[in-house]
Amino acid sequence: MAKAIMIQGTMSNAGKSFFAAALCRIFKQDGYSCAPFKSQNMALNSYITSEGCEIGRAQAMQAEAAGIEPSVLMNPVLLKPTTNIGSQVIVNGRAIGNMVASEYFRQKRALIPKIKEAYEKLAAQHDIIVIEGAGSPVELNLKSDDIVNMGMAKLAKAPVILVGDIDRGGVFAQLLGTLNLLEPDELSMVKGLIVNKFRGDISLFESGKDILQKRGGKPVLGVVPQLECDIEDEDSLSSKLDGKTAGLIDIAVIKLPKISNFTDFDVFSQYDGVTVRYVTRYEELENPDLIIIPGTKSTICDMKWLRESGMEAVIKRNVSNGTPVFGICGGYQMLGETIADPLDSECGGSISGMGLLRCRTVFMGNKRQTQIRGRFKNISGFFSCLSGAEFSGYEIHMGSTDSGEQLLLDCGGAYSGNVYGCYIHGLFDNSQVSERMVKKLYESKGITYRGGVIDRNAYKERQYDLIAESVRMSIDTKLLYRIIEEGI
């Protein structure tokens, strides 16, 4: 059975996913078989494993850092918000229905055996399990039947490292306040503290470490600097969604209220001169070189938002002026004529789409979850350069779309003029796709793209090595290994 270490945070976006990924890569580099685990994840960014199961994107990313295949065992419970008070509940990679928060909290105790089974199977296959918590371990109103923070640490008998975010201020209150609110048995499981996202001269924080250790009674393993790295984020707090100034090539992604899988577009930012902007208001859209409508966990609700916000009208105006548009998953559905959800799979009801593609979508009871690969058909329009290009990716959707348009891919999708849409997440990661698109966008401006070829997988491997190096240099790894060996 594997040893375990658990990373908990003082708040959301304190750096738990980042730190867990760094540890996964460090343990891999040190010759250990390591795997990530998060008992319950709440995120709209998800991934389909080779088994056809849906897990949080962060655990797939951490598995890559560990050099292993992502597995449903790494994230047995996934919550995908559909409204402000409800989520689709996914257990062992399969959706079991939509629940409002109060209903889920009444039933979550029944999930403990499934979480325990997944963890034990995973632990039997590896040397070290890096467990990630969620939010804060001291949300006092939610601690009953906890299955993701201290409840999970007890289940796995895992020592805990607590991470605080100094960049947002109040790191002493974060760390010491969290320790103060833990129960005595929980406090004994915390074996060390990490100060994350430090900017400036770290030597100036030596007295800060002493204060934390004296008042908190826990060793400070290290102070990790704010690192300029590019690993995939899992939630809406990602800095990637902040507004940016348009570059030479301006790609505008519509920031839908329930945007999902925004990591689909990370690859474009690797190309010289290309900027990916996430746009919330129609005034921000202006005249981009490419508009992307991303996936969403609530297609009909987000289609209403597109219409009521004025974004739909501005997108259509851009299309009439020749701007290409690409819709992925829910974005593809919105490009069509109608969207109907008779079974209340998401938010229910029906709505007319943007009418840019002759497609009709109906949400069914079954969710399509599969990895897929194929080729673009011989297509026309702005991106005719994609004809015959190979791709691989995955599908996650409830809706079934009937199209009266020409096929975009050998497995579906549609296009008309300069409007393209399909269900494939990860479509652009293949350099045959993204590079051809970037070259065409340059060409449309009368410029030749002279940047290098982007190998997405090699790029991500470099990022994992980068975060591992930074964390290794910033923390006491001997103490870390001792904590893991001694356990609780």
pLDDT for 108-156, tens place per residue? 889 999 999 999 999 999 999 999 999 999 998 888 888 999 999 999 9
397 is catalytic: no
Instruction: Give the pLDDT confidence score for residue 473 in this predicted structure.
Output: 95
> In 3D, which of 151, 155, 156 has the Cα closest to residue 35?
156
CB atoms within 10 A of CB 458: 8
Which range is least confidently modeled, 142-146, 160-164, 317-321? 142-146
Strand order in the sheet with 34-37: 34-37, 128-132, 3-9, 160-165, 190-198, 220-225
CATH architecture of 249-446: 3-Layer(aba) Sandwich (3.40)
CB atoms within 10 A of CB 307: 16
Instruction: Locate the domains of the chain by residue range.
Output: 3-231+462-486, 249-446
Say if residue 96's pLDDT is above 60.
Answer: yes
**Percent of the chain topping pLDDT 90:** 80
What is the mean pLDDT of the segment spanning 446-462?
88
pTM check: above 0.95: no
H-run or E-run covering 440: helix 431-443
Instruction: Give the pLDDT confidence score for residue 448 in this predicted structure.
Output: 92
329 is catalytic: yes
Q: Are 249 and 441 in contact (CB under 8 A)?
A: yes
Query: Catalytic residue among 24, 359, 422, 425, which?
Result: 425
Query: Catalytic residue among 24, 53, 301, 329, which?
Result: 329
Write down the CATH number for the domain with range 3-231+462-486. 3.40.50.300
Handedness of CA 57, 59, 64, 69 (dihedral sign): negative
Instruction: Give the pLDDT confidence score for residue 408 in this predicted structure.
Output: 97
Instruction: Give the pLDDT confidence score for residue 97 in this predicted structure.
Output: 87
Handedness of CA 384, 389, 394, 399 (dihedral sign): positive
d(CA 136, CA 149): 8
Instruction: Give the pLDDT confidence score for residue 240 in this predicted structure.
Output: 56
